[in-house]
Structure 1
């Protein structure tokens, strides 16, 4: 089937004119298109605000139903715009689209895609417009939403299930850059990235693609094309890469703010695996920094987003009650800055240079973690953008 998936984010559907522009792009495509849509810009945040005004503890099932209305409105509106252009289209909700999840409200994972109705729609000359960010739970049929950025994941999952030629992600930027161009003036657009590099950038805080979508694309070898929704530029392709030659190579810098560092002290060595597995199973991102040995036993340090602290604390309390550790300490708000690439080794001269260079620039480095594809430093929030600019200048600015 000569088919592409086109995903339109909230900023690409922000008003009537933008919805019309997306419809025109679909109408002009060569070959068949399946469109996947996010809620119109600001809708999800508005719905979350409404829920918080009503209650401090929104019921998870009802919150999912509330949030899902944004994508349903976008799908119907885009289908109407296509009809106006003479293009037959049909909007699909998660149930009609065959998106099956594990049933976890608020942060579900896609476990299966049954795209029979979508395939029939394409074969009869219609454009299916599918709601992103949501699915129905296997077994119960309850509507569930994915985590933030879940429309990207929906689009990639459909591309894999329908064996599409590519998954095009239309957004408000021209592609993937070596750093956030809003903060780094000399950031450069990348023409091509490997799945592995893009996954590390997403894990480090780059928001152009959801991390789960990149992992899924890599597993199914779905080519992703990140493109601007307002121009016809070349964008950035995310595909497989040639074999790694092992050389130190920097690709980009990503950052996160609004994070907290947690340190567990007096960790029972026999419980390290259990603690790590518990943190890995959490529905929110947790970045384990390291575990250290001192006179009082083991310590374990990890980073989480500040809003997730209470939920993490609930699980930690159970582990503490079971004797897994003796003390828990949380930091003030911090940020993480990550250099992404390959060939990173702790004793490489460039790696050893990195923390001293940041300190010279006035950045207070709290932690540094070196992985083969990502070097991450934590620092106070006011130092984050200074660190991003300094690392980009050191490793990614020519000359």
Structure 2
């Protein structure tokens, strides 16, 4: 079929194809040179990133290490037909760390952001990876650590997609904990392929550097604590709007029975707000923000009855929660009946990290192939 056919205009072809699942489009590239040229064109890739697909599996990417610390793995799980949780094949993690270990920063619109670093310094490499396409790019050095010399002591990283500008961004916030200097904010734009300093007013909160961050409503969110730090207890959520490049604060639920000793931040089951898990009396309580940004709308959803849970990871689209048992086994829990399903994944309990993943074609026309 010719791309110039008057009965099938190019713009109609673009619209139809952009709504097909990513894996189908990757297979379509082999049909003919015109299809290959169209699907790999930058314009079509951008269109696919914002189009609403007719059908697309909802994935979560689970990263974990072997119990003996020697190997890293990832598994892709999906929810189909609203309820069934399917565990895909386990893969050996394709990136070997140069600095200590690779951790997941976040995921948005088909890309996963990784940070190769170690716990004792902030020198490292940022990577953007398309899991389905199997390609990645290494970000240029922001020279962040050079700016703070020996006094540099704290950095957090966030990742997200700016819909209005069709751009992916990475934000770094650099703190000098030994002075009253204003934190420095650096933003990388994939569209411009460069880092720049942003004159944003940073709130008097400092995000936990290794805590999970969540991208919702165009903003990155971190659990944070009030400066100066007097304990390890988080008492706020700090957010950064990736489009307007400004910071905001969101209060945690106000409940005298809650403990802020162990708190985990995640995306709500609906995918458009925030959820929190609090560890209380050897059990985990789940809270959700019913109206995004409104602190008074926090509401307790349920308590996970089982006590041998090391940590919750996130909600699935079907409302189930992914949990890590103290034994290192990954399970899904139906909050309504408290039924647990073993997903056949086992690793070091403290190593598990999970992000929601929507497949896309970003990097199909650029980047390096992942070696398998």
More helix by share: 1
The structure whose RCO (Cα within 8 Å, separation 6+) is larger is 2
TM > 0.5: no
**What interval of TM-score do these two structures reach, taking the shorter chain for normalisation?**
under 0.3
Structure 1 or 2, whichever has the larger Rg, is 1
More strand by share: 2
